[in-house]
């Protein structure tokens, strides 16, 4: 009888822990949805890459879609022609799936890494870790992302891309709302 009570106690504690994690994930997703709009700011790339100009502004557009079930995130170099066949124009989808906050990045490298969030209790910082990938990693892949909400008109994004040979490239964007 004692072992049955102990087992029941463990089950209840596990369900309570899952409910807290789910609520933190949903809270983080709701916070990220407040970033809907157009953003611009400089990008700092480490290590420096000759083909990636550090400090050059980038634009990020975010919009809530699918009746609030998804957040579309698009990046484009500021001032670039909006033609995804000629310039980098990655699209990222953020969404809830069975209590987890997930991110799927449709990369210019031709693959689609998925990442799962480790939300902070306050929802202001959301860190995404690599989960799995569809497509080839021949040209590298996105591995990690962190979104930090500073206030309604300011947030930062940190992205880590893994080059062939497991060489990480980090990009930090300091973004201000432009509308």
pLDDT in tens, 76-135: 887 766 666 656 789 999 999 999 999 999 999 999 999 999 988 777 899 999 999 999
Average pLDDT across the chain, whole number: 86
What local confidence, expressed as pLDDT, does residue 42 receive? 96
Average the pLDDT over 34-56 and give the result: 83
pLDDT at 59 over 90: yes
* Over residues 16-44, mean pLDDT: 83
Classify the phi-psi angles of 165: left when phi > 0, otherwise alpha if psi is within -120 to 50, otherwise beta: left
Residue 85 — left, alpha, or beta (φ > 0 → left; ψ -120 to 50 → alpha)?
alpha
Contact 28, 117 (CB under 8 A): yes
- Report the pLDDT averaged over residues 133-142: 96
Q: pTM value? A: 0.82
Q: How does DSSP classify residue 26?
A: H
pLDDT at 22 over 70: no
Q: What is the structure's pLDDT at 63?
A: 98
Residues 70, 29, 117, 147: what is their CA dihedral angle, to the nearest 10 degrees?
100
The CATH architecture annotation of domain 2-177 reads Beta Barrel (2.40)
């Amino acid at each position: 009888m004692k072992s049955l009570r102990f087992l029941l106690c463990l089950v209840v504690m596990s369900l309570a822990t899952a409910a807290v994690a789910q609520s933190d994930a949903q809270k983080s997703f709701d916070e990220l949805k407040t970033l809907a709009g157009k953003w611009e700011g400089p990008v700092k790339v480490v290590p420096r890459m000759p083909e990636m100009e550090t400090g050059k502004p980038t634009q990020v557009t975010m919009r809530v879609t699918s009746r609030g079930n998804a957040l579309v995130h698009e990046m484009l170099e500021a001032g670039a022609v909006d033609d995804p066949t000629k310039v980098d124009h990655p699209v990222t989808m953020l969404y809830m799936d069975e209590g987890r906050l997930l991110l799927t990045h449709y990369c210019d490298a031709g693959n689609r890494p998925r990442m799962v969030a480790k939300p902070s209790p306050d929802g202001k910082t959301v860190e995404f870790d690599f989960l799995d990938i569809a497509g080839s990693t021949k040209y590298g892949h996105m591995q990690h992302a962190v979104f930090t909400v500073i206030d309604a008109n300011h947030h930062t994004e940190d992205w880590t891309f893994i080059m062939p040979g497991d060489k990480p490239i980090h990009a930090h964007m300091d973004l201000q709302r432009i509308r």
